[in-house]
Amino acid sequence: MAATPSLDLVSVDTVLPQIPGSMPSLANLPPGCRFHPRCGDALPACRLTAPSFIDGVACHLYDQPAQEVG
Ligand code: SF4
């Protein structure tokens, strides 16, 4: 989300954070979540199973129970 451009940029010189890695070839997509090679929060399940869309979100983390705070 940090790489999402904003109209509120203070300067045209502002550098957006980059997501490490490269986009996969569309002819050779990775198994599981297509984003797992570049995702810093990938779970073991992400390499095996594509996440389902739930409420417009497709991410295994969205299925996880909320962490207790405090
Ligand atoms: S399912 Fe979510 S956590 Fe897993 S690799 Fe994809 S974006 Fe990352």
Q: Which pLDDT score, from 0 to 100, does residue 65 have?
A: 63
pLDDT band at 5 (very low <50, low <70, confident <90, very high): low
Mean pLDDT of the chain: 84
Helix (H, G, I), strand (E, B) or coil at 54: strand
With a 6 Å cutoff on the Cβ, whether 45 touches ligand 1 is no
Contact 50 CB / ligand 1 (< 6 Å): no
pTM above 0.75, yes or no: no
Q: Whose CA is nearest to atom 2 of ligand 1?
A: 59
Report residue 53: phi and psi, to 5°: -75, 125
State the alpha helices, DSSP H only, in the chain: 60-63
Give the burial class of 8: count Cβ atoms within 10 A of its Cβ; 0-12 exposed, 13-18 middle, 19 or more buried: exposed
**What is the number of the ligand 1 atom nearest to the C-alpha of 62?**
2
